[in-house]
């Protein structure tokens, strides 16, 4: 079923500003740089022509290749569904005359990339097993297995992949679900922001709170956390990507999918072309780039970079909305910024008349101003199988008061491009209830603060 989305205009990344804007998180000509020491990347092992085989297996220098994530007896490098138990290893079967499962541009990039990287753990549709195939709905199992994995396991999967993989193709809509990483990270961010030793409050809390209280909040497995993530998806359903080559491209967010894609709010969206120029809830253009590195292993990743967003989704033609070195209190002034770009119409006048400069109020109170930080938020991604890319959500902070910096990996954004329709995903989950549970994937319950 095609996504229930009207076509958005083609989006191209604007040229880099000249001279490049440089700041706390690096220059806009390079991927964001986190305030940590990046490890030197270990070189990838030499790959025999045609890829790894039983006769020519990968070396033990890649221990995650030799782990067995789904405990089905097939080690990861040789498993055609690395997250879905399938001891039989039955291959995916492409039905006669079936179209490619992702859009043709995306499929071309995937094929080109895998041909150029035959030793990579990324699998195209024809390299998968039937148990996680793109030719039936079983690919949803790979996505769900990733989602209900513990944060540590998700990180291992990301490191197992080791490289960004192919990009998304022209005009490609993704479905994602904003997913938290660990419950206590939120507490740690607050502790750091308030100059408290990290763990001062969260560690005793973890000892006091019983599993009865914390399990429902376990990221992606606790029922309340899951509810929160599903509600988050209704606000922020993923991205719209424009990457016709494997070199990089542009991206917009996909906001309010249920209301903007079902059509209830279409008239309202048409009335505010300054906010929704594509006639959908897809606003704000950022950049997709392939020169990011992961601070976990120093190896390459694809970055979703929002430091230099442009007018494509928001504002007046030619305007840029620079968030390099942005301050947390700037976010509180979002309504003021919207008022500045809303044009001469009634809604612009209303927005400008609203006294909602909350950030300025915050900065005017000395004890609060001390807590202001510069922030960086971006996604760092590695593709796992055709149509599925796992993205981390990174946040970096710099206290304006004393210049101290800190990095947190605060969440995950699993990107799906095979079927970005939210309703189809929901229907599958409702009819495959056992497949949304960790046990189906030979995983422990992954409950608790430390999941």
* Shorter beta-carbon distance to Ca ion: residue 138 or 417: 138
| Pattern 328-367, Ca ion, x by CB under 5 A | ----------------------------------------
CA end-to-end distance (rounded Å), the chain: 35
Tokens 């964001």 sit at which residue?
32
**385 belongs to the binding site for Ca ion (CB under 5 A):** no
Rounded distance between C-alpha atoms, residue 126 and residue 173, angstroms: 22
Secondary structure (3-state) at 211: helix
Tokens of residue 445, six digits = 């319950």
Secondary structure (3-state) at 21: coil
**Of residues 393-422, those binding Ca ion (CB under 5 A):** none
* Shorter beta-carbon distance to Ca ion: residue 10 or 90: 90
Contacts with Ca ion by CB under 5 A: the residue count is 7
CB of 77 to Ca ion, least distance (A): 10
CB of 130 to Ca ion, least distance (A): 11
CB of 76 to Ca ion, least distance (A): 6
* Shorter beta-carbon distance to Ca ion: residue 71 or 270: 71
Tokens of residue 229, six digits = 């993530």
Rounded distance between C-alpha atoms, residue 219 and residue 229, angstroms: 9
* Shorter beta-carbon distance to Ca ion: residue 86 or 179: 86
**72 belongs to the binding site for Ca ion (CB under 5 A):** yes
CB of 72 to Ca ion, least distance (A): 4
CB of 362 to Ca ion, least distance (A): 50
DSSP state of 123: B
Q: Residues with Cβ < 8 Å from 174, sequence gap 6 or more? A: 168, 238, 239, 240, 241, 254, 389, 415, 416, 417, 420
Contact by Cβ (8 Å): 441, 148:
yes
Please identify, among the stretches 67-75, 262-270, 286-294, 357-365, the one whose residues bind Ca ion according to the rule CB under 5 A: 67-75
Secondary structure (3-state) at 228: helix
Interface residue with Ca ion, options 62, 79, 229, 435 (CB under 5 A): 79
CB of 84 to Ca ion, least distance (A): 5
Secondary structure (3-state) at 229: helix
Specify which residues 176 forms β-bridges with: 415
**Of residues 133-172, those binding Ca ion (CB under 5 A):** none
Q: Which phi and psi angles does 415 have, rounded to 5°? A: -100, 125
| Pattern 22-61, Ca ion, x by CB under 5 A | ----------------------------------------
**68 belongs to the binding site for Ca ion (CB under 5 A):** yes
Contact by Cβ (8 Å): 418, 101:
yes
Contact by Cβ (8 Å): 250, 168:
no
CB of 148 to Ca ion, least distance (A): 15
Please identify, among the stretches 78-86, 203-211, 268-276, 438-446, the one whose residues bind Ca ion according to the rule CB under 5 A: 78-86
**Of residues 81-120, those binding Ca ion (CB under 5 A):** 81, 86
CB of 281 to Ca ion, least distance (A): 37
CB of 114 to Ca ion, least distance (A): 19
Tokens of residue 441, six digits = 């994937």
- Residue 438: alpha-carbon gap to chain centroid: 21
Extract the runs of DSSP E, i.e. beta strands, from 323-422.
Answer: 373-385, 388-399, 405-416
**Of residues 198-237, those binding Ca ion (CB under 5 A):** none
Binding site for Ca ion (CB under 5 A): 68, 70, 72, 74, 79, 81, 86
């Amino acid at each position: 079923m095609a996504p229930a989305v009207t076509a958005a205009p083609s989006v191209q990344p604007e040229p880099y500003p000249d001279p490049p804007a440089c700041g706390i998180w690096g220059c806009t000509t390079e991927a964001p740089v986190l305030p940590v020491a990046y490890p030197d990347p270990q070189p990838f092992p030499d790959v025999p022509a045609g890829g790894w085989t039983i006769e020519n297996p990968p070396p033990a220098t890649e221990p995650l290749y030799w782990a067995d994530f789904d405990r089905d007896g097939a080690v990861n490098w040789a498993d055609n569904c690395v997250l879905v138990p399938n001891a039989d290893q039955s291959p995916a079967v492409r039905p006669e005359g079936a179209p490619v499962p992702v859009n043709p541009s995306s499929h071309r990039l995937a094929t080109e990339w895998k041909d150029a990287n035959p030793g990579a753990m990324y699998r195209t549709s024809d390299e998968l097993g039937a148990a996680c195939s793109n030719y039936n709905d079983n690919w949803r199992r790979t996505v769900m297995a990733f989602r209900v994995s513990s944060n540590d396991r998700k990180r291992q999967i990301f490191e197992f992949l080791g490289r960004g993989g192919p990009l998304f193709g022209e005009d490609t809509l993704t479905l994602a679900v904003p997913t938290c990483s660990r419950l206590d990270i939120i507490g740690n961010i607050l502790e750091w922001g308030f100059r408290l030793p990290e763990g001062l409050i969260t560690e005793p809390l973890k000892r006091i709170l019983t599993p009865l209280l914390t399990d429902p909040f376990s990221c992606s497995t606790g029922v309340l956390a899951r509810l929160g993530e599903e509600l988050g998806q209704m606000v922020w359903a993923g991205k719209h990507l424009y990457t016709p080559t494997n070199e990089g491209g542009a991206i917009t967010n996909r906001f309010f999918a249920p209301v903007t894609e079902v059509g209830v709010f279409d008239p309202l969206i048409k009335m505010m072309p300054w906010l929704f120029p594509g006639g959908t809830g897809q606003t704000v253009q950022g950049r997709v780039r392939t020169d990011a590195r992961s601070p976990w292993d120093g190896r390459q990743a694809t970055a979703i970079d929002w430091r230099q967003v442009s007018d494509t989704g928001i504002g007046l033609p030619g305007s840029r909305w620079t968030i390099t070195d942005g301050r947390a209190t700037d976010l509180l002034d979002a309504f003021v910024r919207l008022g500045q770009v809303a044009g001469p119409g009634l809604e612009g006048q209303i927005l400008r008349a609203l006294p909602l400069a909350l950030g300025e109020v915050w900065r005017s109170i000395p004890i609060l101003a001390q807590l202001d930080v510069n922030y960086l938020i971006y996604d760092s991604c590695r593709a796992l199988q055709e149509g599925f890319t796992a993205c981390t959500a990174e946040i970096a902070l710099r206290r304006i008061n004393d210049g101290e910096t800190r990095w947190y990996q605060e969440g995950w954004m699993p990107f799906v491009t095979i079927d970005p329709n939210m309703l189809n995903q929901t229907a599958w989950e409702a009819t495959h209830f056992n497949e949304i549970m960790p046990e189906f994937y030979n995983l422990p319950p992954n409950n608790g603060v430390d999941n």
